[in-house]
Structure 1
């Protein structure tokens, strides 16, 4: 079968489309015919091996983690002990090496694909929408009437965070760059701050919850946007130095939170079946919608990664392996 693979850490030039052996399901696993696979920022971390601290798990000198996690497809084969899924079931969730014609996945990390969603839409949910759910519901504790600011509102996680916060009854503002303002506004954010022209300092003291999904703004600047008892949620660890990336801000925020009335926090998002079912249901009911920047074939995955790195993407790019 065809799959995107790489033998070393590096940029998108290290990604190659090759013929590889078909996967075999282990205990508790299934093999999927992959219809679509979402491209998320985590794939960049696995591809580059950055920040370097992550190589303790990913492989110090050579990558041992396969690339690709978000997936939507049809069960082709079931492994020992799998009773909740059967051959022919349409599913979405988290798999292994999903930029491929077929992929393995643990059955407990998959849920049924709603009929209302295409495979491309379904593949855009598992990592990004679940991360947004954790940021809004769990870390942010957003409630109806809260004023929420989403920094990085145009990205894969940010577009969902705007919509989920609104679904929870919050008033939501978004931050993005000029060419994405209209797209973020269409999701229900009001106002939308264009960080290339507008000064976030004008919003000081305004928000009950700030979700920092993009950029490397100083913690002190973010705290000024909060009410005296507001909550700052730092999502992800993008940018920063080679060793820790942006993780150092998460550590600083947690330390400062010990001495402040404001909650300054971060979290590690783990994709679980209950949360997958929640975001799939929200999408099926139209309360959130996947924002698909582009659906591209498997051999275009390296170029898609370059667009993601360059910050050109509104929402998600999805690798469409089979026709929907």
Structure 2
């Protein structure tokens, strides 16, 4: 839809069946004599409800694409939906726009169905209109609760980001908002008893637990991610690079190692017949090669071919560096200067050690 893949988790089928069963008595009351058709009516309502959830998520996707952010997919699951966006908005204003448009869409859809209530005749159709109006208004309002992983948490994050200048501080504040929301969600059964005088049942307690677990888990993940990402700016490829030695592809491995040790180089780059970098000697493969075999093996035998994703700018740093390494996982990367010259080799192990050593 709109160039975005829409995925439906199998858990949605369970929720659709649950909605159909829960609505069956109400359908029977509104339209007696349907028999098994009352479950089909409930299932049809579940489909319409999730179509409105899809509109909510599509609004996030379209706003993100407007800001130039690639959208990988939209997934519908038992608690609603999620839009997977590559990267993040680079300004608080864009973060606010991508976040707030979802709840506003749900509120708008709810308002439209609320308006239709006045012109809809009695019966199943009116029941569906009432249900869709209430559900969408509820989804819109609840999603504005200022705590991650809800949309309102991202709105709060954008506000804190604007004030402090730090997106990571915004994430931590919004994450704690999500934890507070999770604790409050546990009071849902008590709220039912106070507001409606109805004794909460097992389903109410189970729903409160599931929602609280979802909110607490999402908020905690966001807080942990923000604390880790605070350390990323200290990761700079240029400062972590190993000095490298370029050798012909057919040079015996033992001689390549000897020259690297003599030059105090921490890595070896293999050149093709045109003297262009074609591979990086893999450290693990080198160490696994017995010394008595090294004189009979060319250096290229233990080198990994240099694919486009293994060539990085020498000045790459922070989140850009981590994303580049995630796109093309490897143990070594070739760092190039702006003019195409070889600067050195970056190893994943060196990056990991630098990250772990950062307070």
TM interval, shorter chain, is under 0.3
Q: Higher strand fraction: Structure 1 or Structure 2? A: 1
Q: Higher helix fraction: Structure 1 or Structure 2? A: 2
TM-score by length of 2: 0.21
TM-score by length of 1: 0.23
Larger radius of gyration: 2
